Chain A
Amino acid sequence: MVTVKLFGIAKEIVGGSTLTLDSPVANVEELLHYLRERYPEFAKLTSLLIAVNDEYARPATVIHDTDEIAVIPPVSGG
């Protein structure tokens, strides 16, 4: 099963720095749908992106169990 890393406000929305999904997701689009459905607070954010293996991923990007997946809420560095 896929485990995703969480940062910033995403960590607070879920209540932890990682989340192990309890149902499979095939791609980034399905993961975003999963997150917004389980945690409606995600739908209120300015943006929500997913990184696969340290790179910003597109909705169609396929997710494998071995990938490093991270939830990227709106960034605010600098």
Chain B
Amino acid sequence: MAKPLVHITAEPIIPQEVIDLVRADAAGALNVFIGTVRNSTQNKAVVKLVFEAYERMAIKEMQKIIDRARERWPVTAMAIHHRVGELGIGDLPVVIAVSTPHRQQGFAACQYAIDTLKETVPIWKKEIFADGEQWVSAHP
């Protein structure tokens, strides 16, 4: 069964499934952003990340991103999937796919979506190090 366009999941995200949600005959471009877990932050080795979401509100805020992107660009379809729970190095916390008639609109809409997600969607990430842990961006 096809997953919803806006989705929060504890299961691994399969990029092809997100891509297939936005494929359309009217689109000449399909742009994808895949966030990946990096092995270090500020020269400190990261062991794993833990993501937590205020799911009901996060879904609403992700839907708002799609709605606003549609107001600014001729978006044929957009899907945003975000993972929660424990993620290891190389895992995929977020996949965004957007189809548009032309590629420039797709790059712009995709960048808008990931930039806005990082600012407005109530999801939190904790970095686990060998010798400690920290909630990202919590403190100045």
Contacts and interface: CB of A to CB of B under 8 A. Distances in A.
Interface of A: 5, 7-9, 12, 44-46, 51, 54-56, 70, 72-78
B135 A77 contact: no
Contacts, number: 79
Contact of A51 (B118, B122, B126, B140): B122
Nearest to B84: A77
A46 B137 contact: yes
A77 B138 contact: no
A8 B54 CA distance: 9
A46 B139 contact: yes
Given A7-B124, A77-B51, A54 B118 contact: no
A8 B139 contact: no
A78 B94 contact: yes
22 contacts: A7-B52, A7-B124, A8-B135, A9-B124, A9-B135, A44-B139, A46-B139, A51-B57, A54-B56, A54-B57, A70-B54, A70-B57, A72-B54, A72-B122, A74-B137, A74-B138, A75-B118, A75-B119, A75-B121, A76-B138, A77-B53, A77-B58
A51 B124 contact: no
B106 to A, nearest CB: 18
B123 A76 contact: yes
10 closest residue pairs by CB, A with B: A77-B123, A8-B124, A76-B136, A9-B135, A54-B57, A74-B137, A76-B125, A78-B118, A76-B137, A9-B138
Contacts of B136: 76
A5 B52 CA distance: 13
Interface in B81-140: 82, 93-94, 114, 117-126, 135-140
A13 B118 CA distance: 22
